[in-house]
Amino acid sequence: MAEINPKIAVVYTENAAVATLIDQKILEEIDIHALENSIIPLVERKQGINLVLDFSNVEFLSSSALGLLIRVSKKIYESNGQLRLCAISDSIMQIFKITRLDKIFKIFPDRQQALDSFENV
């Protein structure tokens, strides 16, 4: 039986929560739902959350996972929070560019730059 536990690690910094996606592949619906069930409560826990999603381990991402990112972004925006993405591989970044999501999301090369961007807002 497939493991349905979400594979994210959350670290809290002074001004943000950083959720590192552990899985290399986020393709199956069951994995996307598990990820959603982990991220959405994190967003709902704190009004105006600053959240960094770290993709340093992710090599493959489905279009459904992109839909999840849009839903997460909307929820964060509605709660007056901010979302940053970081450490996205070149192949996944191409998908963001093709779909023009690179114009919607604030994407940074690494975690530290994403965190520093909150201080400059």
3 in any annotated domain: no
Buried b (16+ CB within 10 A) or exposed e, 23-48: beebeeeebbebbbebbeebbeeeee
Spacing of C-alpha 72 from chain mean position: 8
pLDDT digits (tens, 9 = 90+) for 22-32: 999 999 999 89
**Residue 81: phi, psi to the nearest 5?**
-100, -175
- CATH number for the domain that contains residue 55: 3.30.750.24
pTM, whole model, 2 decimals?
Answer: 0.91
What is the pLDDT at residue 7?
Answer: 77
- Mean per-residue pLDDT, 83-105: 96
Q: Which domain holds residue 75?
A: 8-119
1 in any annotated domain: no
